[in-house]
Amino acid sequence: MRMPEPDQAAIARRAEIALALRRILPAESVIEDGEARRAYESDGLTAYRQPPLVVALPSTTAEVAAVLRYCHENRLKVVPRGAGTSLSGGALPLADGVLLGMAKFNRVLDVDIANRAAVVQPGVTNLAISQAVAPAGFYYAPDPSSQIACTIGGNVAENSGGVHCLKYGMTGNNLLGLEMVLINGEVVRLGGRHLDAGGYDLMGVVTGSEGLLGVVTEVTVRILRRPSTQRALLLGFASCEDAGECVAKVIAAGIIPAGMEMMDKPAIHAAEDFVAAGYPRDAEALLIVELDGPVVEVDELIARVEQIAKACGSTSERVSRDEAERQRFWAGRKAAFPAVGRISPDYYCMDGTIPRRRLPEVLAKMQAMSRACGLRVANVFHAGDGNLHPLILYDANKPGELETAEAFGADILRLCVAVGGVLTGEHGVGVEKRDLMGEMFNETDLAQQERLKCAFDSEGLLNPGKMFPVLHRCAELGRMHVSAGKLPFPELPRF
């Protein structure tokens, strides 16, 4: 995976740039020292590292606008960063780019229960939003596994999902409004506390735009009343086929659980070693099904799901008896990714989506690939919506293993697309899957997306090198016509 060649002229001007930024921000908020910059060189995808040109830590919308205006005027690249927990390299810095850290924007501004809305700054963590509205019996539904640390601004950039998005949707389905700063420093407000935003759904396209269209400085989210009951079932199966069949039958029965997760044996063991939730160690596949809503409905549905599971050959069934137990059922699943860090020095977390019914076939093919390349793989799967998280275990200190892991990962994603799925369900394209975009989109598809980018950022200064495999200049895109699959402007960089 190659990043764009850094602009040496920009790097040569580092001191001058830092000085200019210190006229906008307090001195402490501009980080220039090499050792300090290196600590920012990666996000959650540690395979790729690049220390930024300079780190800027603004704390107001006005400061963000001023910083972006300065960068725009001086043709400097900008990489926005929340908590830096991205698993796709979305917050990977550029050696010639300003890293714009948004972690100082950590205040909850308003909780408006009557309108079921909360207005927060983008650096507020996902979980902190739920905590802020908890006293009123409310919560913020999308719950990515990193919710303790990931920021809502980052969630917007990646359109993060989580276990409960099966029933409650992803970030984009739970946003009411955004304030965003464009690369030229203009501030736009999209939506608000009203339900329909009006005009083009710019908020919809900015969600999941991975920091390429603008920098979000305020977020209005939809909050929901906590369901009166939440209960979870822990279902063990002797095979992934059986578990997959159970999932299909539950949906076919007209039941949409709040969450439906599957883990395979290696994942079960890793998680169980970390939090003793009582996962059945002998099961080949584990289904964690959560049902929420009014008590009488949940009780009814739990019974129905248990019945369906038994009909599909479940080997064990446990229902949570209280809230503490329900949390314990989930704790292992939610910490599954880093818990795998206990059984392997490094892991590579993949993220693809497939039509649910193709899961057994995909798992079987992955096992074959695993045997062929000699790297273990543990699987965590959002069974309800087909989003798959294979965790490829490797050791970066062993030469060649990182490359093998990446190749294995790419093959998995190609397989996902081949069976009718997509490259990424919730982690984003970032740098990780950038070079695979061609598996899903042809040149015309990509050109249309890049033209949209030009409407927001014609100089291509926001997060370049992410998401798209070819850097087109906007003027070129305007005149570009792809004919017979041949790409014009062959001299433009392709990674």
Partner 1 sequence: MLTPLEPATAEELAAAVAAAEGPLELRGHGSKRDFGRPVQASQLLDLSRLSGVTLYEPDELVLSAGAGTPVAEIERLLTANGQILAFEPPDLGPLFGQEAGRGTLGGMIACNLAGPRRIKAGALRDYLLGATAVNGRGEIFKTGGRVMKNVTGYDLCKLLAGSFGTLAAIASATLKVLPAPEAVRTLMVRGLGDPAAMLLMSRAMVSAEDVSGAAHLPEAAARCLPHADVGTAVTLLRLEGTPRSVAQRLAMLAKELESPSEELGEIESTVLWRGLRNLLPFRGDHGAAIWRLSVPPTAGADVLRACGPVERCFYDWGGGLIWLTTAAEGDAGAARIRAALSASGGHATLVRAPIAIRASAEVFQPQEPALAALTRRVKESFDPLGRFNPGRMYAGA
Partner 2 sequence: MQTNFTLAQLADADTAQSEKILRTCVHCGFCTATCPTYLLTGDELDGPRGRIYLIKDMLEGGRAASATVAKHIDRCLSCLACMTTCPSGVHYMHLVDHARKHIAQTFRRPVGDRFLRKLLAVLLPRPALFRGALRLARLARPFARSMPGRLGAMTRLAPAALPASSPVDRPQVFPAEGARQKRVALLSGCVQTVLRPGINEATIRLLNRHGVEVVVAAGAGCCGALTHHLGEEAPALASAKRNIGAWWREIEGQGLDAIVINASGCGTMVKDYGFLLREDRDWAVKAAKVAGLAKDITEILDEIGLRPTSSDGPRRVAYHSACSMQHGQRLDALPRRLIASAGFELCEIPEGHLCCGSAGSYSILEPGFAGQLKTRKLANIARAKAEVMVAGNIGCLEHLAGGLDLPMIHTAELLDWATGGPKPAALTSAAG
**87 backbone dihedrals φ, ψ, rounded to 5°:** -100, 5
Burial state string for 87-99 with b = 16 or more CB within 10 A and e = fewer than 16 = bbbbbbbbbbbbb
Report the alpha-carbon distance of residue 58 to residue 43 in Å, rounded: 19
Among 9, 23, 35, 491, binds partner 2 (CB under 8 A): 35
Report the alpha-carbon distance of residue 8 to residue 126 in Å, rounded: 37
Report the alpha-carbon distance of residue 85 to residue 426 in Å, rounded: 13
Among 169, 338, 469, 488, binds partner 2 (CB under 8 A): 338
Q: Which of residues 149-208 bind partner 1 (CB under 8 A)?
A: 158-159, 161, 165-166, 169-170, 172-173, 182, 186-190, 192-205, 207-208
List 391's β-bridge partners, or say none.
Answer: 349, 378
433 binds partner 1 (CB under 8 A): yes
Nearest to 453 by CA among 214, 218, 217, 185: 214
* Displacement of CA 390 from its chain's centroid (Å): 15
134 binds partner 2 (CB under 8 A): no
Among 254, 399, 485, 490, binds partner 1 (CB under 8 A): 254
339 binds partner 2 (CB under 8 A): yes
Q: Which of residues 57-76 bind partner 2 (CB under 8 A)?
A: 57, 59
Report the alpha-carbon distance of residue 485 to residue 495 in Å, rounded: 18
For residue 228, the partner it binds in partner 2, partner 1, none, with Cβ less than 5 to 8 A by kind, is partner 1
125 binds partner 2 (CB under 8 A): yes
Per-residue x/- track, 56-95, partner 1 (CB under 8 A): ----------------------------------------
Q: Which residues contact 27 (CB under 8 A, 6 or more apart)?
A: none
256 binds partner 1 (CB under 8 A): yes
380 binds partner 1 (CB under 8 A): no
Report the alpha-carbon distance of residue 97 to residue 4 in Å, rounded: 11
Residue 467 in tokens: 């998401």
For residue 294, the partner it binds in partner 1, partner 2, none, with Cβ less than 5 to 8 A by kind, is partner 1
Amino acid symbol at 132: A
Burial class (CB in 10 A: 0-12, 13-18, 19+), 197: middle
440 binds partner 1 (CB under 8 A): yes
492 binds partner 2 (CB under 8 A): no
Report the alpha-carbon distance of residue 270 to residue 276 in Å, rounded: 10
For residue 33, the partner it binds in partner 2, partner 1, none, with Cβ less than 5 to 8 A by kind, is partner 2
Report the alpha-carbon distance of residue 182 to residue 216 in Å, rounded: 9
Among 196, 198, 200, 397, binds partner 2 (CB under 8 A): 397
Residue with tokens 């920091």: 211
Per-residue x/- track, 402-441, partner 2 (CB under 8 A): x---------------------------------------
Report the alpha-carbon distance of residue 44 to residue 429 in Å, rounded: 13
For residue 374, the partner it binds in partner 1, partner 2, none, with Cβ less than 5 to 8 A by kind, is none
- Answer yes or no: are the C-beta atoms of 303 and 289 closer than 8 Å: no
**235 backbone dihedrals φ, ψ, rounded to 5°:** -115, 125
Among 111, 127, 238, 248, binds partner 1 (CB under 8 A): 248
**Binding segment toward partner 2, per CB under 8 A, in 7-15, 119-127, 297-305, 420-428:** 119-127
Amino acid symbol at 358: R
Q: Which of residues 138-177 bind partner 2 (CB under 8 A)?
A: 146, 148-150
38 binds partner 2 (CB under 8 A): yes
Among 124, 437, 461, 470, binds partner 1 (CB under 8 A): 437
**Binding segment toward partner 1, per CB under 8 A, in 10-18, 21-29, 226-234, 259-267:** 226-234
Residue 405 in tokens: 């892991």
The site for partner 2 (CB under 8 A) is made up of 28, 31, 33, 35-36, 38-40, 42-44, 46, 57, 59, 83-85, 101-106, 123, 125, 127, 146, 148-150, 274, 335, 337-339, 341-342, 345-347, 396-397, 402
